[in-house]
């Protein structure tokens, strides 16, 4: 088995909350050494984002909650107060030996500490410096803070998400999870990896990578946004309806719901047969997918009546045998007990100081020759301060002095 793809890469991670930490976690999974810088006492802001928290063996309150746990495995936690001159010196000294530095402070905030790109580049010309922000390093909104839900609204995602107009509860709707944070984390990882490749191929030059939530959510709207760019019209909210093939959506059965996507004309013919209504496939209104899009409300209403005749399991089995994509509407308990999910190993166990078999979600990338097999628990606050700072000459006596001054 080969070494992990990023073994030998060292990353200094000053990001907090979700988008930046998710990116750093991805790189840590792939073998990079990730040194996470946290505030003494409080740590990453995510640690205070509420319950549930792991239970401390001694019954004490702690800051190891689900929000923090989901984005910080395989890292080392080092506490440094970067608002102090000594703390800034520590970060700069660490940056000298790092390949990547990541931060998600407001634009310009780190310049006063001499921890901005130009300052770090002066001491490490090969550094790949990634800034993750709400609105990017340039433009009139650059100084603003930005959270996922704000960017879902401003970027257009909420305008095309939610129930169809005219239905109960219609109107803009936020996507449940912090999906823009997640996508921004992926873009940050891609940008960092591309910059590392460029550095290797072009004489060791580093660069500044600017990734923001606003750009990411707009780019993620893909064909929806392209519709507007082609004809100037914003697509309507479609609820659970599909985005291409029709009919597609959630259909109620006698004991629950299923999701169906009829992706082409052949699948439509087979679906009509499964539903006991083969004549629909020769109806002039529904012959081709474009026809079914035009007459979407009609075909969806007809299918809705047909699906109400049998339970979910009956339809799923029949549709699978017919080669028509469909699936149940699973909650998380059903997801993690699904035999395919279990076969793919999407739930992994790690040894955490508070819980010896803590469940985490595995990295979603599978390699043939360099598989990600090691998962280390998200660290307790400051767990690796002594180990990491020893590499830049800080002995026990000096660390104790800095702790007393609340610098580390």
Catalytic residue numbers? 181
At 227, which helix (H) or strand (E)?
Answer: helix 222-231
- The structure tokens listed for 110 are 């780190």
Is residue 315 within 8 Å of residue 259, measured between CB atoms? no
Phi/psi of residue 127, nearest 5 degrees: -65, 135
Phi/psi of residue 53, nearest 5 degrees: -110, 155
Closest among 116, 31, 79, 65 to 354, alpha carbons compared: 65
Rounded Cα distance between 260 and 145, Å, is 39
Beta-carbon contacts of residue 364 (< 8 Å; ≥ 6 apart):
346
C-alpha atoms less than 13 angstroms from C-alpha of 360 in its C-beta half-sphere: 28
Task: Find tokens 């000459």 and name the residue.
Answer: 393
Phi/psi of residue 57, nearest 5 degrees: -55, -30
């Amino acid at each position: 088995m080969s070494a992990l793809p990023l073994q030998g890469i060292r990353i200094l991670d000053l990001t907090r909350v979700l988008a930046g930490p998710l990116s750093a976690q991805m790189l840590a999974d792939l073998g990079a050494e990730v040194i996470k810088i946290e505030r003494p006492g409080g740590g990453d802001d995510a640690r205070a984002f509420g319950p549930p928290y792991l239970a401390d063996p001694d019954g004490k309150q702690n800051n190891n909650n689900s929000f923090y746990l989901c984005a910080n495995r395989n890292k080392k936690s080092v506490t440094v107060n970067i608002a102090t001159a000594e703390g800034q010196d520590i970060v700069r000294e660490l940056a000298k030996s790092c390949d990547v530095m990541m931060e998600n402070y407001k634009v310009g905030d780190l310049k006063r500490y001499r921890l901005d790109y130009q300052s770090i580049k002066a001491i490490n010309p090969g550094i790949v410096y990634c800034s993750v922000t709400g609105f990017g390093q340039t433009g009139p909104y650059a100084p603003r803070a930005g959270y996922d839900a704000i960017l879902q609204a401003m970027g257009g995602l909420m305008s095309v998400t939610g129930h169809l107009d005219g239905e109960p509860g219609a109107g803009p709707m936020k996507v449940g999870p912090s999906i823009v944070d997640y996508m921004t984390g992926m873009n940050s990882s891609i940008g960092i990896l591309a910059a590392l490749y460029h550095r290797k191929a072009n004489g060791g030059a580093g660069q500044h990578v600017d990734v923001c939530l606003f750009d990411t959510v707009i780019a993620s709207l893909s064909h929806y946004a392209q519709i507007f760019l082609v004809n100037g019209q914003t697509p309507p909210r479609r609820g659970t309806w599909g985005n291409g093939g029709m009919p597609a959506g959630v259909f109620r059965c006698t004991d629950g719901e299923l999701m169906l996507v009829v992706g082409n004309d052949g699948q439509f013919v087979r679906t009509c047969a499964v539903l006991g209504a083969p004549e629909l496939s020769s109806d002039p209104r529904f012959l081709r997918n474009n026809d079914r899009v035009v007459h979407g409300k009609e075909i969806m209403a007809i299918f809705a009546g047909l699906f109400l005749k049998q339970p979910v399991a009956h339809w799923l089995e029949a549709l699978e045998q017919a080669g028509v994509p469909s699936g149940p509407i699973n909650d998380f308990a059903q997801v993690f007990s699904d035999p395919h999910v279990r076969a793919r190993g999407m739930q992994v166990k790690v040894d955490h100081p508070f819980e010896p078999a803590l469940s985490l979600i595995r990295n979603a990338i599978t390699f043939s020759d360099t598989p990600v097999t090691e998962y280390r628990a998200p660290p307790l606050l400051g767990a690796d301060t002594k180990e990491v700072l020893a590499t830049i000459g800080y002995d026990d006596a000096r660390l104790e002095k800095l702790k007393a001054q609340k610098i580390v």
